Amino acid sequence: MKLAKDIGCLACHSIEKKLLGPAWKTVAQINRGNPAAEAKLMDKMTKGGSGVWGSIAMPAYPDLDEEKNRILVRFILSLE
């Protein structure tokens, strides 16, 4: 959670409920069992985008290093 807070993710996301972006537990649930989910979400964090969860765009984080990106995505996908 410290990494998510430091990056600024918690301004738009929470674990349990939808804010501007989807709840991370919902993201984990929808992607559970998808072997491509980690790569897909890492790409989304790097490039940003919109239209998947609504009309508000997620900003890109192109300077987030791959290790931190992977740690955060694995955390999100691990949520039950």
For residue range 15-46, list pLDDT tens digits in order: 999 999 999 999 999 999 999 999 999 999 99
CATH of the domain at 68: 1.10.760.10
Task: Give the domain extent around 17.
Answer: 2-78
| 3-state secondary structure string across the chain | CHHHHHHCHHHCCCCCCCCCCCCHHHHHHHHCCCCCHHHHHHHHHHHCECCCCCCCCECCCCCCCHHHHHHHHHHHHHCC
Our count of domains for the chain comes to 1
In this predicted structure, the answer to whether residue 53 has a pLDDT above a threshold of 90 is no
How confident is the model at residue 65, as a pLDDT? 95
Looking at every residue in the chain, the average pLDDT score rounds to 95
Arithmetic mean of pLDDT, 56-80: 96
- What is the band of 55 on the pLDDT scale with cuts at 50, 70, 90? confident
pTM of the model: 0.92
